[in-house]
Structure 1
């Protein structure tokens, strides 16, 4: 099966919306600025950030398996955020494919040398994945609930 990232389309947001079951899941995925419940039709605008790129991971049949964004954070860093995999397919390796391709696209598109992200400390699966891909914890930017992480390298690990 071939998996690839492509720009998110309006129809994709209807699928992604089904993955967000409650206000806690919404806040953990998109942050406190996105209220739950939300209107699916408004999701692209609600998630928009200046110069952000919204992408979906799809298979050969165009089945949406994951969603993520990246945007320029500052002069040195692009930030990866709102990373989510279809709950029905978690544990099958799609998160690694999504993140690896996202990292590559963010590095190439922005031309910036550093990638950043944030992950909840109580999400060991995601934390392990990001460490495997080469992200390092930045304790100075972390808090009790969330770890800040950065990737500084030429090519994402897998």
Structure 2
């Protein structure tokens, strides 16, 4: 199992992991539209402050994560997802561990942050088990289709 840089061809499979608008919103908000757009995903992957990474084993794509450079010392883990075929097998924790190890190699980052929707209990517990703690920061919700979804902010020192 390894963490590798995303290539444009990965977008087709990653977006296939979402079958409903709600699943898509829990993962990435409106970032890539609905239905999800390969073009939007590839365009975002080319931004200088963003790195897309894929957790893979052989030819199998197990998961995806976005690393967003917030500042000289802060990196944000975003749009974390495990391929539905591999959920519940510990790959989420592996994806976080490998991502943090990659970030630590760079040495300038001192803190990793992320946000998770309160209803996404499995993801919250995964992040907590890796040492992320809840912090009192904005935003505390996102609004989708007229509904406010509570959002939890988390961070860990690197």
**Inter-partner Cα distance in structure 1 for 2:136 and 2:157:** 16
* Alignment correspondent of 2:27: 29
**2:28–2:79 contact (8 Å) kept in structure 1:** yes
* Alignment correspondent of 2:62: 65
Q: Deviations over 1:14-69 (max 9, x none)?
A: 1101112122222221122321013324421145543211100001x221000001
- The structure whose residues are more often strand, as a share, is 2
Distance 1:78-1:110 versus aligned 2 partners, 3 A rule: farther
Deviates more, 1:38-47 or 1:105-114: 38-47
* Alignment correspondent of 2:110: 113
- Which of 51, 54, 57 is equivalent to 1:53? 51
Instruction: Determine helix, strand or coil for the equivalent of 1:27.
Output: helix
Matches within 5 A, 1:117-156: 117-141=114-138, 143=140, 145-153=150-158
The number of residue pairs the alignment matches comes to 150
Q: Deviations over 1:83-134 (max 9, x none)?
A: 0001121000111111110111123236211000001111111111111111
**Inter-partner Cα distance in structure 2 for 1:41 and 1:126:** 27
RMSD, aligned α-carbons: 1.8
- Which of 2, 5, 28 is equivalent to 1:4? 2
Structure 1 portions without partners, runs of 5+: 154-158
* Alignment correspondent of 1:77: 74
**1:56–1:68 contact (8 Å) kept in structure 2:** yes
Q: Which runs of 4+ in 1 moved over 6 A?
A: none
Deviates more, 1:128-137 or 1:99-108: 99-108
Q: State the TM-score, normalized to the length of structure 1.
A: 0.86
Q: State the TM-score, normalized to the length of structure 2.
A: 0.86
